[in-house]
Amino acid sequence: MNFTAKRIAEFTNGEIVGNPDEIVHDISRIEEGKKGTLAFLANPKYEKYLYDTKASIILVNRELVINGSIKSTLIRVENAYNAFTSLLELYAGSLHEKTGIEQPSFIDPTAKIGNNVYIGAFAYIGPKAVIGNNVKIYPQSYVGEGTEIRDHTILYSGVKIYHDCIIGSHCIFHSGSVIGGDGFGFVQQDDMQQRKIPQLGNVIIEDHVEAGSNVTIDRATIGSTIIRKGVKLDNLIQIGHNVEVGENTVIVAQAGIAGSTKVGENCMIGGQAGLAGHLKIGDSVKIGAQSGVTNSIKANETVLGSPAMNASKQVKAMVIYKSLPEMYQRITDLEKEIALLRKEKE
């Protein structure tokens, strides 16, 4: 698909510096720019590439000061990163214009299918499932009995959504994710055997949620596991039963949240962080990568480490920890000196 500088400027409310008829058909990073591609410059440390890149059109911030000769056509915008993201969304949308029902696939006669949907080969739509308008379900995906998927949501290949779950609109689930599997609930018996607790709840996911590949969100024991509007989940994340994740929270790869923990709005949870069960995490909390959270956290705190503690305290503790070998040696030397002094007194 070809775009002219003029069309891009109209879409981004930008100002053209150069040829308005310049055409691009692909995108590139500014340091790897090629003829016919669109790039952007938002980070000042990449400015040096602006003067040598071969990218045909470059989005730049409106206030950028040019310090050399440029061959490319520039489009000045309020925020180059946001403008570039909007263009990527436009481009990506054009790649997903698939519609129709491929065969072989199975759609139960009691399921309700909306308008302009795409259902790929070998997909399964269970009894009483409700599929909204403009939903795209890629091959080998599974939608269980009574599950509702609302408008404009995408299930990529191999996504499995168990029975009675509710998925909001404009959501994206990448390959291998499983929504609504049983929570990890067992009771140890007198003979030490583990007795399974039936998981009778469901998962509710609100609008504009995105989950990466191989994310698992367990159904509630009773009630609902809830992922609120705007949550973004990276790959390989485990969310346990009866967890609630607040609006616009971001969770990075390989993090895990144990059952019944409540995470507030606008939180950031780093990669490989682990949260114990039955905790309350306040709004706007930041949890560093590989942190082990065993206690509830108040709003607006930043924590690090395992066990997780306030970031400023943890940084001081890390400095001391790195010095432990030297401190140990000094203590050992002092003990030897004290022992010698005692002998001399004797």
Catalogue the active-site residues.
Answer: 241
Measure the CA–CA gap between 338 and 265, rounded to whole angstroms. 57
For strands 302-304 and 309-310, give the pairing: antiparallel
Measure the CA–CA gap between 157 and 249, rounded to whole angstroms. 25
Q: Which two tokens stand for residue 30?
A: 């500014």
Q: Are 219 and 204 in contact (CB under 8 A)?
A: no
Q: Give percent helix, percent strand, percent coil of the chain, each to the nearest 5.
A: 20, 30, 50
Measure the CA–CA gap between 56 and 243, rounded to whole angstroms. 48
For strands 154-155 and 136-137, give the pairing: parallel
> Rg for the chain (alpha carbons), in Å?
27
Q: Which two tokens stand for residue 166?
A: 């509710």
Measure the CA–CA gap between 222 and 13, rounded to whole angstroms. 50
Phi and psi at 216, nearest 5°, equal -125, 130
Torsional class of 140: left (φ above 0), alpha (ψ -120 to 50), beta (otherwise): left
CA distances (Å), origin 343, targets 336, 337, 338: 11, 10, 9
Supply the DSSP symbol for 168. Answer: -
